[in-house]
Amino acid sequence: MQSFGKFLQSGDWKGEKHVPVIHAPEKVSAGEEFEIKITIGDAVRHPNSFEHYIAWFKVFFHPEGAKFPIEIANFNFTTHGEGDNFTDPVGATSAKLSKSGTIYAISYCNIHGVWENSKEIVVE
């Protein structure tokens, strides 16, 4: 068995247009609804064409001390030039958490594979 984990690439989003950027508060209250927004290539724009595009983001949350991560949301970006219309790789949703932990975002480019980022969040 080979592990898929070796394909999860990362980097500085300022220079790398595939790294998902996680926008969320540093601190929220337990059970408070807050926005999680994932963008990509905030500094360097990724192409969006039939041949090359960001297809999806997945968002997971790992409560500190927990054994397993929980999938928060999945976003698919599905228009890449049909009739000259486009979906940009931006995905936002709302969540309510019960304790502190780490948010993970995974992005997929159909040509350049899977990329990841993480951000800690304090839940009081």
18 is catalytic: yes
Residue choice 22, 109, 121, 123 for contact with Fe ion (CB under 5 A): 109
Q: Please, what is the minimum distance in Å from the beta carbon of residue 37 to its own copies?
A: 7
67 is catalytic: no
Residue choice 27, 43, 44, 74 for contact with its own copies (CB under 8 A): 74
Q: Please, what is the minimum distance in Å from the beta carbon of residue 26 to its own copies?
A: 16
71 is catalytic: no
The answer to whether 96 contacts its own copies (rule: CB under 8 A) is yes
The answer to whether 112 contacts Fe ion (rule: CB under 5 A) is yes
CB atoms inside a 10 Å sphere around CB 103:
21
Question: Would the CA dihedral through 94, 98, 104, 106 be positive or negative?
Answer: negative
Catalytic residue among 23, 62, 112, 119: 112
For strands 34-40 and 20-23, give the pairing.
antiparallel
Give the separation between CA 50 and CA 95, rounded to whole angstroms.
32
**Are 107 and 54 a contacting pair, CB within 8 Å?**
yes
The answer to whether 16 contacts its own copies (rule: CB under 8 A) is no
C-alpha distances in Å from residue 84, one per residue of 41, 50, 75: 21, 11, 21
Active site residue ranges: 16-18, 46, 52, 109, 112
Site of interaction with Fe ion (CB under 5 A): 109, 111-112
